[in-house]
């Protein structure tokens, strides 16, 4: 029985050649030709003026919040159905995350709920393009403009997606990305921030580099951080940028195969794709459409695991984490769509190393589980 992992990096292109080139150049720290090249190419892919490489997606969020001046006493509206980094970064700057429900039509933050959550202390919104699907940015922008709020896109799971023809990374005041090993393009660890705002780009560049003045070396006018990415890591990313279209096409073919193969299973729901969205095919996600007595998600996970197929349940809602839970004495948050999706959702193996036969193997085992 061959083990099928949820995700593995595709390093079949120019990665080895570029990394060796970086090593031989002796530029292995945070400056070098591959850093400049990646930042230029990634900015172009996102249709923005500035992209800065950073050490991971979490610090990308922290950097964005620092640049926008979020701090103690501020509130930032975030979805609860997301990876923990989204809310943690808000806490890093001393601000308070306020948790919004998601829209079942997109699985992303619900703009109507966001509008209802705005208070005098609200300074911004962090929509997450969950599992590769862009949030409804025009509706969020209307709320933000009405109340004078900024928007940070958490696009960690959705590079190269589009919203109404506009690329992710260009839809907020700042956008953040992750290049962790299971992402669409990867450097093992790594991330980026993008923006069209020259002043925000300048501030983030200083904050990323220990707060050093950009014109006067070893003069540090602000408190900064060491959030830079190495030239070696950017060599990986440049190699992957070379063939991003091919990798996305392969992922799309695999997810199309999943959609067709699971279409006739009434017990299984699939991720909805809005007509205005070009989804980034990161992981293929399914939902239980039966009542709780009819489908035990953990039993399906065990069933697939016994067949050598790795899966991943949806994120546990962030508002349930002990360090982020609502204070004692206050009523529990009412986020029904978040709770439902988190309890029903399961991610299936999706990566360019898979074949259509691999997808069929997963589909066949899921069908067998429901047809016993």
Structure tokens at 372: 């016993």
293 pLDDT band, cuts 50/70/90, is very low
Mean pLDDT along residues 278-294: 82
pTM of the model: 0.96
Mean pLDDT along residues 146-166: 98
Distant-in-sequence, close-in-space partners of 8: CB < 8 Å, separation ≥ 6: 351, 353
Q: Can you give the pLDDT at residue 228?
A: 98
Mean of pLDDT over the chain: 95
**1 has pLDDT over 80:** no
Q: Do the beta carbons of residue 297 and residue 312 sit within 8 Å?
A: no
CATH (one of 1.10.510.10, 3.40.640.10, 3.40.50.10800, 1.10.10.10) for 15-242? 3.40.640.10
290 pLDDT band, cuts 50/70/90, is low
Angle at alpha carbon of residue 296, lines to 294 and 302, rounded to 5°: 140
Q: Can you give the pLDDT at residue 371?
A: 82
**148 has pLDDT over 80:** yes
Q: What is the CA radius of gyration of the chain?
A: 21
For residue 40, the tally of other CB atoms under 10 A from its CB is 13
**37 has pLDDT over 50:** yes
SS3 track for the chain: CCCECCCCCCCCCCHHHHHHHHHHHCCCCCCCHHHHHHHHHHHHHHCCCEEEEECCHHHHHHHHHHHHCCCCCCEEEEECCCCCHHHHHHHHCCCEEEEECECCCCCCECHHHHHHHCCCCEEEECCECHHHCCCCHHHHHHHHHHHCCEEEEECCCCCCCEECCEECCCCCCEEEEECECCCCCCCECCEEEEECCHHHHHHHHHHHECCCCCCCCCCCCCCCCECCCCHHHHHHHHHHHHCHHHHHHHHHHHHHHHHHHHCCCCCEEECCCCCCEECCCCCEEEEECCCCCCCCHHHHHHHHHHCCECCEECCCCHHHCCCCCCCCCCCCCCCHHHHHHHHHEEEECCCCCCCHHHHHHHHHHHHHHHCC
Give per-residue pLDDT as tens, 325-372. 865 555 678 999 999 999 999 999 999 999 999 999 999 999 999 886
Q: Which residues pair with 278 in a beta bridge?
A: 162
The CA distance from 162 to 277, in Å, is 6
Mean pLDDT along residues 77-85: 98
The CA distance from 360 to 298, in Å, is 21
Domain coordinates in residue numbering, the chain:
15-242, 244-370
Q: Can you give the pLDDT at residue 54?
A: 98
**154 has pLDDT over 80:** yes
The CA distance from 153 to 115, in Å, is 17
Give per-residue pLDDT as tens, 51-80. 999 999 999 999 999 999 999 999 999 999
Structure tokens at 337: 């769509």
Q: Can you give the pLDDT at residue 81?
A: 98
Give per-residue pLDDT as tens, 160-214. 999 999 999 999 999 999 999 999 999 999 999 999 999 999 999 999 999 999 9
Structure tokens at 64: 């964005």
Q: Do the beta carbons of residue 131 and residue 7 sit within 8 Å?
A: no
Q: Do the beta carbons of residue 22 and residue 229 sit within 8 Å?
A: no
CATH (one of 3.40.1640.10, 3.90.1150.10, 3.40.50.800, 3.40.720.10) for 244-370? 3.90.1150.10
Structure tokens at 61: 């969020």
Mean pLDDT along residues 69-96: 98
Q: Can you give the pLDDT at residue 170?
A: 98
Distant-in-sequence, close-in-space partners of 121: CB < 8 Å, separation ≥ 6: 73, 74, 75, 96
């Amino acid at each position: 029985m061959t083990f099928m992992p949820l995700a593995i990096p595709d390093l079949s292109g120019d990665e080895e050649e570029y990394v060796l080139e970086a090593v031989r150049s002796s530029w292995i720290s945070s400056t070098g030709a591959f850093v400049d090249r990646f930042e230029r190419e990634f900015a172009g892919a996102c249709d923005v003026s500035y992209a800065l490489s950073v050490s991971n997606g979490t610090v990308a969020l922290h950097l964005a919040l620092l640049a926008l001046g979020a701090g103690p006493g501020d509130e930032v509206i975030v979805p609860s159905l997301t990876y923990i980094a989204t809310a943690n970064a808000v806490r890093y700057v001393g601000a308070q995350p306020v948790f919004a429900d998601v829209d079942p039509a997109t699985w992303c933050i619900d703009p109507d709920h966001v509008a209802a959550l705005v208070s005098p202390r609200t300074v911004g919104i962090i929509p997450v393009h969950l599992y590769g699907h862009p949030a409804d940015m025009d509706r969020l922008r209307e709320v933000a403009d009405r109340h004078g709020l900024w928007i940070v896109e958490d696009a960690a799971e959705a590079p190269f997606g589009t919203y109404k023809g506009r690329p992710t990374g260009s839809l907020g005041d700042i956008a953040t990305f992750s290049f962790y090993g299971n992402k669409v393009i990867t450097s093992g660890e790594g991330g980026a921030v993008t923006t069209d705002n020259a002043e925000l780009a300048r501030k983030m560049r200083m904050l990323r580099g220990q707060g050093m003045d950009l014109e006067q070396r070893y003069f540090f006018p602000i408190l900064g951080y060491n959030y830079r990415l190495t030239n070696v890591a950017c060599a990986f990313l440049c190699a992957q940028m070379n063939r991003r279209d091919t990798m996305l096409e392969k992922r799309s073919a695999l997810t199309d195969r999943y959609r067709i193969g699971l279409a006739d299973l009434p017990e299984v729901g699939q991720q909805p794709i809005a007509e205005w969205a070009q989804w980034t095919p990161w992981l293929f996600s399914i939902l239980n459409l039966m009542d709780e007595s009819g489908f035990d998600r953990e039993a399906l996970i065990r069933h697939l695991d016994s067949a050598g197929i790795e899966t991943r349940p949806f994120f546990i809602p962030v508002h349930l984490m002990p360090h982020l839970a609502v204070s004692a004495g206050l009523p529990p948050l009412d986020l029904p769509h978040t709770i439902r999706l988190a309890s029903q959702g399961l991610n299936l193996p999706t990566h360019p190393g898979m074949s259509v036969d691999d997808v069929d193997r997963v589909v066949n085992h899921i069908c067998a589980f429901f047809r016993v």
